Structure 1
Amino acid sequence: MKLTHELLNSRLVAILRGITREEARAAGAGLAAGGVRLMEVTMNTAGALDIIQDWRSAYDGQAYVGAGTVLNMKMAQEAVSAGAQFLISPNVDLKVIHYALEQGIDIWPGAMTPTEIAAAFYAGAEVVKLFPMASLGLGYLREIRGPLNHIPLIATGGVTLSNIAEYFEAGASAVGIGSSLLPKDALAAGNIEGIAECAGRFVQAAVKSNF
């Protein structure tokens, strides 16, 4: 699908969780200005649907907006109705995958085991999120790429500017980045330039990691 191609080119998804609508405006502006092409707000964030609508209105054509932590059909339907252009989840729910495909929406479900990863991929997900990477570790990613090297993986959890290259070297096709992408002081102050500067460093690091 269109955004899967974008994901595999830009190799980075920004993950925002637990932020206010006001913070999301500053965060979205900074991320987009920094060159982030894909950004999601998790569905367990208060006002997530409003944030999706705000971002779609503000950054249409500049960045793609998605919903994260999409656990079930109800969440998927609400996110799509709000304008989400892609869905990401921490789990494999075949109904959600099929619904997204029917709607023409990219979906990247979360999985941990080889069985879950393969099930998500063969159900129609073109990319699978490997989660939780911070706990699984890079050794797990390297090992699982052996038999599953035909399935693109988004490694999510524990990514920082100092270790992002290691994720790609271990076999990640893309990474999901949360708190390290949004400096707390810049977010609290609504410092769009500060957020953009940090985002730009991650964007460049992802592109330069040619593994």
Structure 2
Amino acid sequence: MDILDALRKEKIMAMIRGLQPDDSDRVIDALVRGGIRFIEVTTNTEGVYTLVSRWRKEYGNDVVIGVGTVLDVEMAKKAVDAGAQFLVSPNLDEEVIEYGARQLVDVYPGVMTPTEMVKAVKAGAKAVKVFPMGSLGGASYLREVRAPLDRIPMIASGSVGLHNIREVIDAGAFAVGMGGNLVNKKWIEEGNYAAITELARACVIAITG
């Protein structure tokens, strides 16, 4: 499977962060029911590597599983050993990108500036995560930075939700990363996983409609 091509098609990468394993299991099930096929589970989620290994077996090729908040090569190694199909970072770490390239695992580093974007691609990143989108100015920032850098696939992350997902895609985002605006912790506390499924479905329709 070409992970980047698959992400180009799916457009939405849902992030699971800081949950207990049982809740993480219920959330991924809710997301998949809603049509989400790309899941990023972060390193500050309890049992992250065990979850990745188990989900890879349970979901097979139906879902693409990656690890987020990968801050150094040691984390990257643990994630790859667990079966992660891609790695995501909030920052630009060239050693992590180079390690991923050697392992044939895509790394999507967090970047803010044009300089960081070009540096990431030169280090071997196939796409970059523009983060934090909300603080940077949202779709308008993305549109402006893509004018000279339109060959770099950009994943918009931070403050992306149903209310602006279409606007962000139209501004040139290759895909979007969605955390709390999709994986609503209040709903999780209430056990309302059906609401997450419904929101996931609405986001998929907003992307494809």
* TM norm structure 1: 0.93
Amino acid at match of 1:196: T
Q: Is the 8 A contact 2:156 2:176 kept in 1?
A: yes
Report the counterpart of residue 152 of structure 2 in structure 1.
151
CA–CA distance in structure 1, aligned partners of residues 50 and 192 of structure 2:
21
1:90 and 1:183 map into 2 onto residues whose CA distance is 20
d(CA) in 2 for partners of 1:197, 1:25: 17
In the TM superposition, residue 190 of structure 1 has moved relative to its aligned partner by 4.0
Letter aligned with residue 189 of structure 2: A
Q: Secondary structure at the match of 1:65?
A: strand
| Structure 1 partner of 2:9 | 9
The residue aligned with 1:50 is 50
1:205 equivalenced with 2:206 (yes/no): yes
1:36-65 Cα distance to aligned partner (Å, 9 max, x none)? 111011112232112212322221121111
CA contact (8 A) 1:97 1:125 kept: yes
Q: Which residue does the alignment assign to 1:81? A: 81
Deviation at 1:189, TM superposition (A): 4.3
SS of residue matched to 2:176: strand
Answer yes or no: is the 8 Å Cα contact 1:168–1:174 preserved in 2.
yes
Structure with larger RCO (C-alpha < 8 A, sep 6+) = 1
- Find the counterpart in structure 2 of residue 65 from structure 1: 65
- Structure 1 residue runs without a partner (length 5+): none
Shift of 1:133: 0.6
The alpha-carbon deviation at position 191 of structure 1 amounts to: 4.2
Structure 2 unaligned blocks of 5 or more = none
1:16 deviates by 1.1
User: What is the RMSD of the two structures over their aligned residues, measured on CA atoms?
Assistant: 1.5
Amino acid at match of 1:104: L
Contact map agreement 2:52 2:66 (CA 8 A) in 1 = yes
Work out the percentage of aligned pairs sharing the same amino acid. Answer: 45
Residue of structure 2 equivalent to 1:99:
99
Deviations, residues 142-186 of structure 1 (Å, cap 9, x unaligned): 211111011110000001111111111222111000011123344
Corresponding residue pairs, total: 208
8 Å CA contact 1:11–1:207 kept in 2: the answer is no
Give yes or no for contact 2:15–2:183 (8 Å, CA) kept in 1. Answer: no
Q: Which residue pairs with 2:39 in the alignment?
A: 39
Question: 1: distance between equivalents of 2:27 and 2:2?
Answer: 24
CA distance in 1, matches of 2:179, 2:116: 23
Which residue pairs with 1:127 in the alignment? 127
